[in-house]
Structure 1
Amino acid sequence: MTKIVVIGAGISGVSTAYALLRQGYDVIVLERQRYAAMETSFANGGQLSASNAEVWNHWSTVIKGVKWMLKRDAPLLMNPSPSWHKYSWLAEFVSNISKYRDNTVATTRLAISARQHMFDIADREGIEFDHVTRGILHIYWDKPGFDHAAKVNHMLNEGGLDRGPVTPQEIASIEPALHGKFYGGFFTPSDSTGDIHKYTTGLGRACEKLGARFVYDAVVKRIDRNKRFGLSYGVHIKNGQAAERILEADGIVVCAGSASRELASMLGDRLNIYPVKGYSITVHLDDEHAQSAAPWVSLLDDRAKIVTSRLGTDRLRVAGTAEFNGHNRDIRDDRIRPLINWTRELFPGVNTNRVVPWAGLRPMMPNMMPRVGKGRAPGVFYNTGHGHLGWTLSAATSAVLAEVVAESVPVTPRHVP
């Protein structure tokens, strides 16, 4: 039977494994952590947001980045220390500004198609993930912000999204718990939210039922072309304290988030992914007063670059910021504090005495588009680089990738003696 090794057990890797299993492949998933969904897929903002499909390749992003460079609590923060990887990535980022409109429309369409894939999977496999279907509300404090959003809205509408403007009075009606004097907003009723960790681990269990094998604490040390026994690749892994061993496979799919760049280099490909750190807090709503004071409608505050998602009755996820600081995973108080202060300001009835902070590395390509498809060598594939939309896009990109694999490495039936 045709064997595929998937590297990475975050949302992209587990979704890819599931799509390949449905095609009839024998799948092994390698994960360097002890469990699935323990890195970027652990505590993100929770939004399944086609309404956030605008790519970042715009001159306004560059200007804000320069202006905020020395402000430690800025929504976008860049460590100015020299790094060839960082500055080559930024150069490519700027070169893709000309594709801003086309890539935004394309991302919108992909995000919309991903919805049905994900919902069908969750229904089929009985995955519970605190799914809330009350839409996403974008809020704007001033006219310039709202006017830019109106231009973006034309692109999102062109991509097929049902997103429209709302007045301050309508904002208050959509989410009564929200406090603030807003200029206006945009509302997307078809967007939703959920717990990415619950979904990914639930999908992982579904993969195991379909025959997938997960190997945890597995660090990939080397990947060789290997013609023995008719197989194509030997993946050398170090698994905990055990001796290095080799897994043989007909094909490899790299879904390893920010680590995909190093793995691609092993396979002869250049994959210019940069780890853009984001932060979140999970606010525990421990009493009825806090629960009633917290929002149920998901929010995006464009000025602060902060999003919220309600995760069941007793949790509120608040996330945001972008930090260009390499593979640093430190949780910094000066980056968490703005999330807490924002929550107190806009939801004064929410008690923030029990808050769990987190930081994760978004794997971003310079053009803000995921890398989905073949590598240079036969039998090598990628489904990675989803940036801030991995949760939103992975179900669709995994379906696309499974079709690409099927064309290049057809399934052969298991031999029964």
Structure 2
Amino acid sequence: MPHVVVIGSGITGVTSAYELAQLGYDVTVIDKHLFPAMETSFANGGQLSACNAEVWNQKATVLKGIKWMTQKNAPLLLNPSFDLHKYAWLVEFLGNIKHYEANTKNTVKMALMARERLFSIAEHENINFDLEKRGILHFYHSEYDYTVATRVNNVLCGGGLERHAVTVEEMKNIEPSLTGDYYAGFYCPGDATGDIHKFTTGLANASKKYGVKYLFGMEVMNVEHSDKGVHIQYHPSVENMNQEAVAVEQIDADAVVVCSGVGSYHLAQQLGDRVNVYPVKGYSITVQLDDEQSIQNAPWVSLLDESAKIVTSRLGSNRLRVAGTAEFNGYNRDISSERIQPLIDWVNRNFNISTEHSIPWAGLRPMMPNMMPVVRRGKRERVFYNTGHGHLGWTLSAATAVMISQEIANSYPV
């Protein structure tokens, strides 16, 4: 039975391991953390959102980014300090503006495939992750924003998405907790929300019954090739170290899949590939709905406020996830109060709920300049990638896991 090592136990790593195990592979997952889904897959916006499949490669996005550079609470923030990786990435981002429509439509198609597969896995494995199939409602505050969104909607629907315009009255029927003034909206009834950390943890546990093994608290040092396979050297990561000498261990495999999020950039360099992932920080708060009024007044339908670039997801009866912002600031994982406060203020403006107990979080989205995930084999034999999903890892992972497992099966069949 061929042995495949998956590096990374976020949503893409665990779904890849699961799909490979379904095909009959012996699978080992290595992750530097002590548990699965501890980085970008920990507390994202929660949306399984084919309706957010639009890639960001537009001149308007660049112009907004320049305008927002002086505003610390802007939805998109670019640290202007020089960094070769960042500016090379931005140049490549601009070069992909011409592929905006094609990439958006392709992303929609992947998202629809992923949605169907993820629902099927969750049902088959009986994974409870606070799934809500209530759709996603986008709302707009001005005629200009809505006109721009109409053009985007035509592209999304061209990729096969079911999404339609709604009036303000229809919006408030869909989600009665909305109390603000709006111009109009779009509603995607087929989209959903759920807790990515609960799903990934549940799937990791389910995958063990198919033979998947997990090496937690271990960091990959080096990957060597030979005619017979790959040799992966690893040692305990910082959070798993003790005072004794750090022992280097080795595991042999027939193939390796890199699912390392923002760590994929440097790992790919070691493997002779260029995978130009850049870390784009996003923030979220998880509002604890501790009183009856907050439970009653928090929205159940997932929302996206287009002007603020803020999304919501209801995670069970007593949690509301609120997320937003994109920050180009390298590998900095610090939680900035200046970025968290706008999320709290937004909740207080839009809903009659208490934000007294709000848990802040920040994660690094692994973004490619063309906003498309990297799902392919590497230059060297036996090396594969499933990474670079950006803000859509939760939305796309169930599809890209199938895609990369089929690629491996074609090259190294069971």
Q: Would you say same fold, with TM above 0.5?
A: yes
Secondary structure at the residue paired with 1:155? helix
CA distance in 2, matches of 1:152, 1:64: 17
CA distance in 1, matches of 2:292, 2:155: 41
Give the structure 1 partner of residue 232 of structure 2. Answer: 235
CA distance in 1, matches of 2:214, 2:378: 23
Give the structure 2 partner of residue 124 of structure 1. Answer: 124
1:179–1:345 contact (8 Å) kept in structure 2: no
Give the structure 2 partner of residue 368 of structure 1. Answer: 371
Give the structure 2 partner of residue 245 of structure 1. Answer: 249
Query: Could you give the per-residue CA deviations for residues 164-189 of structure 1, whole angstroms, max 9, x where no partner exists?
Result: 11111111111110121101000001
CA distance in 2, matches of 1:291, 1:320: 22
Alignment-mate amino acid for residue 295 of structure 1: P
CA distance in 1, matches of 2:389, 2:157: 22
CA distance in 1, matches of 2:395, 2:161: 14
CA distance in 1, matches of 2:260, 2:127: 23
Whether 2:199 is the aligned partner of 1:184: answer no
Whether 2:267 is the aligned partner of 1:268: answer no
Give the structure 2 partner of residue 336 of structure 1. Answer: 340
CA distance in 2, matches of 1:53, 1:83: 28
Give the structure 2 partner of residue 215 of structure 1. Answer: 215
CA distance in 1, matches of 2:67, 2:138: 24
Query: Could you give the per-residue CA deviations for residues 325-384 of structure 1, whole angstroms, max 9, x where no partner exists?
Result: 00000000000000000000010x110000000000000000000000111011110000
Count of residues paired in the alignment: 407
Alignment-mate amino acid for residue 209 of structure 1: K
Uncovered stretches (5+) of structure 2, i.e. residues with no partner: none
Q: 2:406 aligns with which of 398, 403, 417?
A: 403
Secondary structure at the residue paired with 2:379? coil
Whether 2:323 is the aligned partner of 1:314: answer no
Secondary structure at the residue paired with 1:388? helix
CA distance in 1, matches of 2:381, 2:5: 14
Alignment-mate amino acid for residue 408 of structure 2: V
**Deviation of 1:192 (Å):** 0.5
Secondary structure at the residue paired with 1:252? strand
What are the equivalent positions in structure 2 for 1:102-117 lying under 5 Å apart? 102-117=102-117
What are the equivalent positions in structure 2 for 1:194-213 lying under 5 Å apart? 194-213=194-213
**Deviation of 1:226 (Å):** 3.2
1:49–1:191 contact (8 Å) kept in structure 2: yes
Alignment-mate amino acid for residue 250 of structure 1: D
Alignment-mate amino acid for residue 216 of structure 1: F
Give the structure 1 partner of residue 359 of structure 2. Answer: 356
Query: Could you give the per-residue CA deviations for residues 227-274 of structure 1, whole angstroms, max 9, x where no partner exists?
Result: 4xx3x1111101234401111111000000000011111111001000
CA distance in 2, matches of 1:279, 1:121: 28
Give the structure 2 partner of residue 67 of structure 1. Answer: 67
CA distance in 1, matches of 2:6, 2:182: 46
Whether 2:305 is the aligned partner of 1:301: answer yes
**Deviation of 1:275 (Å):** 0.3
Q: 2:384 aligns with which of 372, 381, 395?
A: 381
Secondary structure at the residue paired with 2:296? helix
Give the structure 1 partner of residue 148 of structure 2. Answer: 148
Query: Could you give the per-residue CA deviations for residues 291-321 of structure 1, whole angstroms, max 9, x where no partner exists?
Result: 1110000000111010000000000000000
CA distance in 2, matches of 1:366, 1:287: 43
Alignment-mate amino acid for residue 342 of structure 1: W
Secondary structure at the residue paired with 1:350? coil
1:257–1:363 contact (8 Å) kept in structure 2: yes
Secondary structure at the residue paired with 2:256? strand
Give the structure 2 partner of residue 323 of structure 1. Answer: 327
Secondary structure at the residue paired with 1:221? strand
Secondary structure at the residue paired with 1:4? strand
Percent of matched pairs sharing the same residue: 55
Give the structure 2 partner of residue 414 of structure 1. Answer: none
Give the structure 1 partner of residue 40 of structure 2. Answer: 40
Query: Could you give the per-residue CA deviations for residues 66-110 of structure 1, whole angstroms, max 9, x where no partner exists?
Result: 000111100000110000000000000000000000101110111
CA distance in 1, matches of 2:51, 2:16: 24
Whether 2:282 is the aligned partner of 1:278: answer yes
Runs of 4+, deviation exceeding 6 Å: none
RMSD: 0.7
Output the TM-score relative to the length of structure 2: 0.97
Alignment-mate amino acid for residue 385 of structure 2: Y
CA distance in 1, matches of 2:344, 2:365: 21
